Amino acid sequence: MSRTNRRVYAGVAAGAALTLALTGCGVGGDGGADSGGSGTDGKIAGKITFQTWNLKGGYEKYFDGLIDAFEKKHPGTTVKWVDQPAEGYQDKLSADAAGGNLPDVVDMGPEAAYTLAGAGMLLNVAEDDPEAEEGYLPTAWDAMTFDGIDGGTYGYPWYLNTGPSFFNTDLFEKCGLDPEKLPETYDELFDQAAVMSENCGDEGISMIGRMPTIETFGMYGAELMNGDGTEFTFNDAKGVELVERYQALYEDSGLTEESLNALQTGELDSFKSGQLGWLPGSSYTLSDLKKTAPDVAKTVEMGPLIANTAPNMYLESLVVNSESENTATAKAFARFATDPKNQLAFAKEASVFPSTAGTLDDPYFTEDDGTDEGRLRTEAAAQVGEAVVWWPPAFSGGPDVENLREQIAGALLGKKTAKEALDDAVDYSNDRLAKQ
């Protein structure tokens, strides 16, 4: 699923996922977590509204089948499916919540859920449906558990996404690097980026296409927050070291001026134009490259996501409106949509990964079919077992993201030291957090 901000999922432009072809739905209600089981109190009946984020235009058949199966399983229920466009989605969520118009079941990530949970708008499923936890991967469940609020869990984990690194091997050869020795750690990445810059920088070629994000700090080894999730701490020694590596690269022309402002879409465009050596990707980056940049796709070799610690992954969940007039049906539907059978079906349709316990053991994720796509899928699925949702839910996708980028850009331009830049970024984010 393509998203704005971080939901672009590591390099896919908005809308790319909607080009995926739909085949059979495969939805049903008899797998894994028992929707409407002992963790769902009250009568499952009546009407609810289910809202997704930029999923119409490609997945109608899947969701129509999902809803039909739920309504057959629970006679007397009606699920109205609505979908909102990617642009301005989080602002709309906030406006709907403030106006008392939040749908019963809503698709959102940890960041948006954190804000609404702090305002008391989301159901604490750990408290209200405690048996649900055992049905999901611990890392996914933990990503929806907010220590900075009350330690509650505010959503049923839905789909995950992660992916490998993509390397332009033609550029490696052209710029004096060995395409058989692709970087796997940040030390290796920065060392090879320096070589690429020295040999090809005057042609506008670089290894890295944009500034570090909050996830980068986590993968590099910085401590992003204190233990109880009440303060940001990514201005520690490892965080400063990361920014200093970027400073050194920029001074040696290993980062272009454009990269100081580039977002994920700009990074993707640079890779597609053959000017970038490394692209952190997702599970559907390869198909996008083959379709929109076939000449570059022929040069691509995949490798692990660059990380000194655990690789990053992204998560979407289904949350339940705490003020729903039909909580029992809302919970039942959220459990149903995120049960193992339905998560597996959706993962196959959308090139994502399920968050339910044990589902990644399905042969679809473990057996390489000999295609590039099969290799990508199996390697990325294996990576999910090690991955972490590094984005702290309390870190705003708007103000905090922009401020961090501006502070790091200031350090690269020599306006402040790396430590001063991160101190300012942390102070800003902590001030915002304290006011929430």
Give 128-146 pLDDT, tens digit per residue.
Answer: 999 999 999 999 999 999 9
Homologous superfamily of the 5-162+313-384 domain (CATH): Periplasmic binding protein-like II (3.40.190.10)
Average pLDDT over residues 15-40: 37
**Mean pLDDT taken over the chain:** 89
> DSSP assignment, residue 312?
B
Q: Please write the tens of the pLDDT for every residue from 396-411.
A: 888 999 999 999 999 9
Q: What is the CATH number of domain 165-311+393-435?
A: 3.40.190.10
Can you count the helices (H) and strands (E) in the chain? 18, 11
Task: Name the residue ranges covered by the structural domains of the chain.
Answer: 5-162+313-384, 165-311+393-435
Whole-structure pTM value: 0.86
The Cα–Cα gap between 190 and 245 comes to: 7
**Among candidates 80, 77, 154, which has minimal Cα distance to 329?**
77
Listed ranges 10-24, 89-103, 347-361; the one with the highest mean pLDDT: 347-361
> DSSP assignment, residue 171?
H
**Among candidates 207, 288, 283, 344, which has minimal Cα distance to 16?**
288
Q: Please check whether the two domains, 5-162+313-384 and 165-311+393-435, share a CATH topology.
A: yes
The Cα–Cα gap between 148 and 309 comes to: 23
Q: What Rg, from alpha-carbon coordinates, does the chain have?
A: 22
The Cα–Cα gap between 150 and 112 comes to: 16
What sign for the dihedral angle of Cα 281, 425, 395, 93? negative
pLDDT band at 433 (very low <50, low <70, confident <90, very high): very high
Edge-to-edge strands, sheet with 353-354: 77-84, 46-53, 105-108, 314-320, 156-161, 353-354
Which residues on neighbouring strands pair with residue 388, listed in sequence order?
312
The Cα–Cα gap between 139 and 192 comes to: 32
pLDDT at 246 over 80: yes
Average pLDDT over residues 60-70: 97
Query: How many CB atoms sit inside 10 A of residue 131's CB?
Result: 13
